[in-house]
Amino acid sequence: MNYPKSSPNYAATERKTDMAVQSTRARSVASLRYPPRRAGGVAQMTAGEMLGRARKSAGVTVADLAQMTKIRASIIAAIERDDFDHCGGFVYARGQVRSMAVVLGVDPDPIIAQFEQQALMQPAEE
C-alpha cells in the first residue's frame, strides 16, 4: 500500500523495506564466504581457483594483475582464495571476477557461472 510521505505509516513501511534490503544483502555477502560443496566426491574448481590458475598460466603476478585491472592486489589475492567479503558486495565481486578473467585472456562466462553458483550456496543448516 502506498502512503503519503507525511504519514507515519510511510516511515514504518520505508524502515521495513530498508531492513529487508539490508537482510538480503547480508545473506548474499555471507553466502560468498563458503566454498562450493564438492558433489559426489568430484572436485570442482572454485572461481578463485580458476582465476589463480589462469593468472599463473599467463605468467602474471598479483601486482601486475592489480595494475592492469585497477583492482587492489589484496582484493585479487582474496578473490583467488574465494574470500569475497572485501569486494564491496555481490555486484562488485562479479565485476571484479569478470575484469580479472578478461585481462587474463580467458572466457569469463564459466568463471562467472561458478562464482554465481558459489554465491547462491548456503551453508548446511544442522
Alpha-carbon separation of residue 29 from 66, 87, 116 (angstroms): 23, 9, 12
State the pLDDT at residue 31: 43
pTM more than 0.75: no
Between vectors from CA 114 to CA 86 and to CA 68, what angle results, nearest 5°? 55
State the pLDDT at residue 32: 45
- Burial of residue 48 (CB within 10 Å: 0-12, 13-18, 19+) is buried
State the pLDDT at residue 101: 96
Smallest CA-to-CA distance from 115 within 85, 84, 71, 74 is with 84
Residues of the chain with pLDDT under 50: 19-36, 41-42, 122, 124-126
State the pLDDT at residue 106: 94
Dist CA 80 CA 14 (whole Å): 38
Does domain 39-120 match CATH 1.10.260.40?
yes
What are the pLDDT digits (tens) for 2-29?
556 665 665 555 555 554 444 444 444 4
- Cell numbers for 113, please give them: 557461472
Going from N- to C-terminal start, the domains of the chain cover 39-120
